[in-house]
A and B are shown apart, each in its own frame.
Chain A
């Protein structure tokens, strides 16, 4: 099971240039909104046509500009879960599911399949409802069920939880995770939510203004982002420009700070990154300790987000601390904060080609 995508599509404003080789299991496409994630999925599904390149699913050529192959979406056997589900509004739940089964002419086979699917997605009793009579979670189940009814060889999930309320999100995420675990083919998940990507996917491809970066294991991507853009999209809140002085020290002009870092082979680094929750109060004089003034403090749901200005620096550092720690710090007060050496990430800015 593999999906190989190498496509170029010129769009107003930017060019989509994606190359990725996904294996069975969940691969995430992570990128800011407008980075071309959904367009990539649409090209794979065949509802949009790339300008050039190829798309091959398990050795089956879906699209190849050179060989002039462009299978219609109907023949691709690629399932698509739309962001707003795209359930047919005039059809009942059963008819919606049936839409993907219309190729099976034998009524008995179809009926059996229906029953199995409806049970599996807990849709009993809703068979004759219209989509507008369903809750968000139910709509998502119907959409999932409808997509899988056609037995696709690959499935594409476009921001599957974006339209759900947060309390439903967790439940649906668990359900979708379970469904995906039982799916043997390639699944591509598009998302701009780093947490979702972290929880759901094995590998990640970061899309940056239309350009794809090499595929990475999810864990590796979050632990060691290599580029500034990746660090930002994975939620790193502190990414100032930096210069390397020695293999184990960097200088950050914006913070007026010389920081020790783990030895790293990375060359031509342009920035450093440190995640906000690794920045913590410490003793004066500790390694990578900076004397900072607390400029602002805002309560998050479970933590407190501090804005710190290091001594002699021009730009702020964001720190996320527990509320109990945060309580002892007053706005305007000065304290020592440590930027642990093992959590300093050395980053390179990727230029748009």
Chain B
């Protein structure tokens, strides 16, 4: 017991803050981008929808390392876009915290987008029709009619997005690397200490991420329950 306490006291907590910060920023970006994309896709024809939807969902079904590979291909300083960003705008993605956010964002984006879309699809189309015949602008219909009705689905999508972004490993390790205090997230720290045979520290970090993730899921369930009163026990 004393041993664990000592480790806890002397632990470098930077991975926790880096992970939380990354998760938060990535979620905020995904939230708006995901909703906007879902809304745009809802207005597409069947074929365009199937194609764009497939493209947007890819990061969820591909191994994260594949996403990492593409991200590197784009943002490496030796590539046109990466070097342009660095030379002209002094923006560096590789081996920086920005890379953490980008990797986590790309990987968790499909969760936000798909949940938002599923929630929008559940909205009674007659509500939208009613808004239109009443002369409401498309924007007013979206913000005042569609979003409130799709609320629970959008919220659960947001929470899932945060949870996924918090634990991202594959793409992050490739794009941002594992620089202690800068890009070293919890998942990367766990992998690193295990490589060094330090199972005790690894176990602590595992416990921390378990607690956070479980907490997130429980909160989500409680929230979803209070909104969906129609769900009955089987």
Contact = CB atoms under 8 A, between A and B. Distances in A.
Contacts of A103: 135
B126 to A, nearest CB: 4
A45 B140 CA distance: 19
Interface in B92-109: none
B134 interface: yes
A100 interface: yes
Interface stretch (A72-80, A119-127, A180-188, A330-338): A72-80
B136 A102 contact: yes
Contacts of A280: none
Given A86-B124, A88-B144, A89-B149, A146 B134 contact: yes
Contacts of B127: 86, 88-89
Interface string B110-136: 000000000000001011011111111
Contacts of A72: 132
B132 A74 contact: yes
Contact of B130 (A46, A76, A78, A86): A86
Contact of B137 (A42, A74, A80, A84): A74
Nearest to A98: B134
A86 B129 contact: yes
A24 interface: no
A150 interface: yes
A56 B95 CA distance: 64
Contact of A102 (B124, B129, B130, B140): B140
Contacts, number: 65
A82 B135 contact: no
Contacts of B134: 99-100, 146-147, 150
A73 B141 CA distance: 13
B133 A73 contact: yes
Contact of B129 (A47, A76, A91, A146): A47
Nearest to B124: A86
A91 B149 CA distance: 10
A99 B136 contact: yes
A88 B124 CA distance: 10
Contacts of A147: 133-134
B145 interface: yes
B148 interface: yes
Nearest to B125: A47
Residue from B129, B133, B148 whose CB has the most chain A CB atoms within 10 Å: B133
21 contacts: A45-B132, A45-B133, A46-B133, A47-B129, A47-B132, A74-B132, A74-B136, A80-B133, A82-B129, A82-B130, A84-B126, A86-B126, A88-B144, A89-B127, A90-B144, A90-B148, A99-B144, A100-B136, A102-B135, A102-B140, A150-B135
Interface of A: 42, 45-47, 72-74, 76, 78-80, 82-84, 86-91, 99-100, 102-103, 146-147, 150
Given A78-B133, A89-B127, 4 more contacts: A42-B129, A47-B129, A102-B136, A146-B134
